[in-house]
């Protein structure tokens, strides 16, 4: 026996609140229960669907900027720059950024000024993804809890029906016994 109740009826029966008093998450879960469909969603698919080009770009920049490959390559470039301007080009008088490397400091400051907000955008996107994951977890947990409540109600109904059937059977036995005694 499949139960087909409306989300409003399910809200009242399972949550003890009217359909107006429930949130969007509860409404989605109750609609899925009423329709008999799955309600779980993949957080990565949801986050990707909601992400803009800038979001994807900030994630890529943060992934590259926070990798060992970037750190090692950046260190090689820095030491190469310093070696080139301190030893190689300064010997022939062509060092374009001699010690204290003012141009290098400008480039590093510019890189930091650009990279920091991009990494923060990526962190904000990750925080948003974490909130979405928490929301989807809540919906999944609510669905499981409501399904357990529905099963509990059905088991109670079955036990009550069984008890009523046994009681009816007991009444029939008593009636037969009384009829047998009355016939004696």
Q: In this predicted model, what pLDDT tens digit does every residue of 86-136 receive, in sequence order? A: 888 888 888 889 889 999 999 999 999 999 999 999 999 999 999 999 999
Q: Which helix (H) or strand (E) holds 3?
A: none
My answer on whether 70 and 13 are in the same domain is: no
My answer on whether 160 and 91 are in the same domain is: yes
Q: Is residue 45 in a domain?
A: no
Whole-model pTM over 0.75: no
My answer on whether 91 and 128 are in the same domain is: yes
Q: Is residue 46 in a domain?
A: no
CA nearest neighbour of 82 among 71, 90, 70, 93: 90
My answer on whether 16 and 63 are in the same domain is: no
What is the pLDDT averaged over residues 23-50?
Answer: 87
My answer on whether 96 and 159 are in the same domain is: yes
Query: 32 pLDDT band (50/70/90 cuts)?
Result: confident
Q: In this predicted model, what pLDDT tens digit does every residue of 9-19 receive, in sequence order? A: 888 888 888 88
Q: What is the pLDDT of residue 136?
A: 93
Query: 1 pLDDT band (50/70/90 cuts)?
Result: very low
Range of the domain at 107: 51-183
My answer on whether 138 and 171 are in the same domain is: yes
Q: Is residue 138 in a domain?
A: yes
């Amino acid at each position: 026996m499949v139960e087909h109740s409306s989300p409003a009826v399910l809200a009242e029966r399972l949550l003890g609140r009217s359909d107006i008093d429930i949130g969007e998450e509860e409404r989605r879960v109750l609609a899925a229960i009423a329709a008999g469909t799955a309600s779980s969603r993949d957080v990565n698919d949801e986050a990707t669907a909601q992400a803009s080009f800038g979001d994807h770009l900030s994630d890529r920049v943060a992934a590259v900027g926070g990798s060992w490959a970037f750190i090692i390559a950046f260190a090689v470039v820095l030491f190469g720059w310093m070696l080139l301007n301190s030893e190689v080009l300064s010997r022939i008088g062509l060092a374009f950024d001699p010690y204290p490397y003012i141009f290098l400091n400008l480039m590093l400051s510019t890189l930091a000024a650009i990279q920091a907000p991009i990494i923060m955008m990526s962190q904000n996107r990750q925080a948003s993804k974490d909130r979405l994951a928490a929301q989807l977890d809540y919906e999944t947990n609510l669905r499981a809890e409501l399904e357990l409540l529905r099963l509990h109600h059905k088991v109670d109904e079955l036990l009550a029906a069984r008890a009523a059937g046994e009681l009816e059977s007991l009444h029939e036995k008593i009636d037969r016994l009384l009829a047998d005694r009355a016939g004696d």
